[in-house]
C-alpha cells in the first residue's frame, strides 16, 4: 500500500465495527504489534464481550485503523488503537479518539484509562492532547518486558 497524500486522507469514514471488519483489524494488528491479538480474540470481542465497543476508520472499503474500548461501570479502558502504517501520521488516530470522546460525552462513563508503551511518545502525545494525564507505571507489562505508562482522564 502506498502512503496517501495528506490532502486526500480526509476521505475516510469512522464507524462502528461490524463482523466483516475482523480480517482488516487482524491485518493491522499483525502490521503494528509484535504480539498481535488473534482473529479468534478479535471475533470474541465483537460477538461475545458485551463490555467491548470498537470503531474502525475505513477508506474505500478497507479498514485503515481501529480503536477498541471496554466500558465497565462508569469507566472506560482503551484496549487498542492501531493505524495501518501507510496511514500513520495523517490524523486517523486523532479522528478515532475524537469519535470516542463524542461517544463518552453522551454516556455515563466518568473516567477513562489506558496503558501505553513508555517508548511510544507519539501515542502519549495523542492521549495528552485529549486530556489524559500520567498516573503510574506497570512494570514489564509488555511481552518484551517494556514498562507501560498508565494514563487517566476524568470526564
**What count of Cα atoms within 13 Å lies in the side-chain half-sphere of residue 140?**
1
Q: Domain-by-domain residue ranges, the chain?
A: 13-154
Residues 15-45: tens digit of each pLDDT: 999 999 999 999 999 999 988 999 999 999 9
Question: Which residues form the catalytic set?
Answer: 115, 127
Quick one: 13-154 is in which CATH superfamily? Gcn5-related N-acetyltransferase (GNAT) (3.40.630.30)
Contact 151, 134 (CB under 8 A): yes
Mean pLDDT computed over every residue of the chain: 91
pTM of the model: 0.88
Residues 133-146: tens digit of each pLDDT: 999 999 999 888 89
Question: Taking 60 as the threshold, does the pLDDT of residue 2 lie above it?
Answer: no
Q: Measured between alpha carbons, how far is 91 from 137 in angstroms, rounded to an integer? A: 27
Amino acid at each position: 500500500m502506498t502512503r496517501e497524500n495528506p490532502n486526500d486522507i480526509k476521505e475516510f469514514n469512522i464507524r462502528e465495527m461490524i463482523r466483516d471488519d475482523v480480517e482488516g483489524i487482524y491485518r493491522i494488528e499483525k502490521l503494528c504489534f509484535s504480539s498481535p491479538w488473534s482473529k479468534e480474540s478479535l471475533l470474541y470481542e465483537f460477538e461475545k464481550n458485551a463490555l467491548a465497543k470498537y470503531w474502525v476508520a475505513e477508506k474505500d472499503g478497507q479498514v485503515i485503523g481501529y480503536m477498541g474500548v471496554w466500558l465497565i461501570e462508569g469507566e472506560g479502558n482503551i484496549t487498542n488503537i492501531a493505524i495501518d502504517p501507510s496511514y500513520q501520521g495523517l490524523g486517523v488516530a486523532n479522528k478515532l479518539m475524537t469519535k470516542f470522546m463524542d461517544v463518552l460525552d453522551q454516556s455515563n462513563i466518568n473516567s477513562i484509562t489506558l496503558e501505553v508503551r513508555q517508548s511510544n511518545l507519539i501515542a502519549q502525545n495523542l492521549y495528552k492532547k485529549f486530556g489524559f494525564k500520567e498516573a503510574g507505571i506497570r512494570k514489564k507489562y509488555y511481552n518484551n518486558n517494556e514498562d507501560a505508562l498508565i494514563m487517566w482522564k476524568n470526564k
